[in-house]
Amino acid sequence: MKSLAEFVRETPFFAIAHRGSSGDAPENTMAALRRALSSGAPMVELDVQRTADNTLVVFHDDVLGRTTNGRGYIRQTSTDDLMKLDAGSWFSEAFAGERVPTIVQALELLAGRVYVNIELKPFDDSDTSTIDDVHKLVELVHRFNMAHTVAFSSFDHRTLALVKHLDWRLPTVALQVPGDERPPATVVASCGANAWGCSVEELTSDWATNARAHGIPYGVYTVNTKPDLDAMLALGVHAVVTNYPERIMNFSTNR
Ligand code: G3P
Ligand code: MG
């Protein structure tokens, strides 16, 4: 695989599978990651959380109830108990028995096959283990030889600065905190990020112009329909995060 930096330079527009192909399979499960791979999307986004006994797992919420048959906080749940939960039935009976993957299982599947966007959830200031999590993830990225094919994204720009401190070559994407009115170039400069993203509702032509003028690749989340895709392409986005990568790639190639 070519480096992500080279790919972004050469590719005017690409789709990023959000939490895997999460419109087609339960988000952040191996099934969703496999569907993302078969969709042909060049990049897969996933979220990372931690269990009570410090296993990093692919999971979005801090609570279990929305996407598993469990209850309570993931950080208060042991890895053994988490692995017993069904992370597929809430989406469809066809996915009954899907488990919450560990980040290692996910990277074993994805490394070397697709660009991976690892979203780091915001720092909890009372919880210094978040710093250990970032250390572990950076180590894993090196163990899987993914330094040139991964991007770390976050709404918490301190975590991105920490990634850069650990290895300045690792690409980072600053996600705009809703309500933050600073333009992309200011946000990116504040943490040394390589790219920038915001929600589809937030992107303005001023922000797009600002990012382009500073040579910053920029993207939006979450684009699932043709009208939204057309509006974003008109604003010159380099990437869209989507729950339906196959559909969005068909729309963009058939324009
Ligand atoms: O990549 C952007 C997107 O994943 C951020 O929001 O809540 O879906 O993780 P969220
Ligand atoms: Mg995410």
Q: Which two tokens stand for residue 231?
A: 């509006």
Structure confidence at residue 123 as a pLDDT band (50, 70, 90): low
| pTM beyond cutoff 0.85 | yes
Separation of 19 CA from ligand 2 center, angstroms?
Answer: 6
Is-catalytic flag, 142?
A: no
Q: Which residue has the tokens 């919880």?
A: 127
Whether 241 is in the pocket of ligand 1, judged by its Cβ within 6 Å, is: yes
Give the residue, by CA position, lying nearest to ligand 1 atom 3: 221
From ligand 2's centre to the CA of 176, what distance in Å? Answer: 13
Catalytic hit among 18, 148, 157, 165? 18
Ligand positioned closest to the Cα atom of 46: 2
CA distance 67 to 13: 31
Q: Determine which one of 60, 157, 165, 238 is catalytic.
A: 60
Q: How many CB atoms lie within 10 A of CB 205?
A: 10
Q: Is 27 in the pocket of ligand 1 (CB under 6 A)?
A: no
The best mutation among 27, 47, 63, 160 to test binding of ligand 1, ranked by most ligand atoms within 8 Å of the C-beta, falls on: 47
CB 152 near ligand 1, within 6 Å:
no
pLDDT band at 125 (very low <50, low <70, confident <90, very high): confident
Q: Which helix (H) or strand (E) holds 166?
A: helix 157-166
Residue bearing the CA closest to ligand 1, atom 5 = 221
pLDDT tens digits, residue range 209-244? 999 999 999 999 999 999 999 999 999 999 999 999
Task: Specify the residue for token string 């899987």.
Answer: 144
The closest of 215, 212, 219 to 198, measured between CA atoms, is 219
Mean pLDDT value of segment 19-35: 98
Q: Which of these, 47, 43, 173, 172, lies nearest to 115 by C-alpha position? A: 43
Mean pLDDT of 16-36: 98
CATH hierarchy code of domain 4-54+103-253:
3.20.20.190
The rounded Å distance from CA 221 to ligand 1 centre is 7
Domain boundaries, given as residue ranges, for the chain: 4-54+103-253
Cα(60) to centroid of ligand 2, in Å? 7
Residue in 240, 241, 242, 243 to alter for ligand 1 test, most ligand atoms within 8 A of Cβ: 241
**Considering Cα of 161, then 5, then 120, then 144, what sign does the dihedral take?**
negative
Q: In angstroms, rounded to a whole number, what is the distance separating the alpha carbons of residues 206 and 209? A: 5
Note the pLDDT tens digit of each residue in 84-114. 999 999 999 999 999 999 999 999 999 999 9
- Rounded average pLDDT over 115-122: 92
- State in Å: Cα 168 to ligand 2 middle: 22
